[in-house]
């Protein structure tokens, strides 16, 4: 049986975009002029914020028991987090 998770996928994509918006603001306020040391802390914050968004979404939507949708959500999380790390990782150089 094929299940369409497009609504969950879209909702979580929006949640990830909210995380990105929040991270942009935090970067500008707290990390932008801090050099490599602050960048390392910010890159760790990216990981933490996406993990929190993922955990919250899984709990809110009661999908912890569905391996297929968990894999989808984790793939989306990795995609967004990787793009953020790549983008901000270039900022110091």
Tokens 């990782």 correspond to 89
Residue 92 has pLDDT above 70, yes or no: no
Alpha carbons within 13 angstroms on the beta-carbon side of residue 33 total 1
> Per the domain annotation, does 25 fall within a domain?
no
Does the pTM of the predicted model rise above 0.95? Answer: no
> Per the domain annotation, does 48 fall within a domain?
yes
> Per the domain annotation, does 6 fall within a domain?
yes
Return the pLDDT at 9. Answer: 92
**Alpha carbon distances (Å) from 87 to 7, 28, 39, 93:** 28, 14, 11, 11
Give the integer Cα–Cα distance in Å for 68 and 60.
17
> Per the domain annotation, does 69 fall within a domain?
yes
List all residues 6 or more positions away from 80 whose beta carbon is below 8 Å from its beta carbon: 16, 17, 19, 20, 50
> Per the domain annotation, does 50 fall within a domain?
yes
Domain count, the chain: 1
> Per the domain annotation, does 45 fall within a domain?
yes
Q: State the average pLDDT over residues 18-38.
A: 90
Q: In which domain, by residue range, is 5 found? A: 1-16+36-93
Tokens 């912890």 correspond to 64
């Amino acid at each position: 049986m094929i299940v369409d998770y497009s609504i969950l996928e879209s909702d979580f994509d929006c949640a990830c975009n909210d995380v990105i918006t929040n991270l942009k603001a935090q970067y500008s306020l707290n990390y932008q002029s801090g050099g490599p040391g602050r960048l390392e802390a910010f890159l760790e914050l990216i990981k933490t914020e996406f993990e929190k968004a993922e955990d919250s979404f899984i709990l809110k939507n009661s999908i912890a028991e569905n391996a297929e949708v968990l894999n989808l959500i984790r793939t989306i999380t990795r995609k967004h987090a990787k793009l953020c790390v790549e983008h901000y990782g270039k900022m110091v150089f």
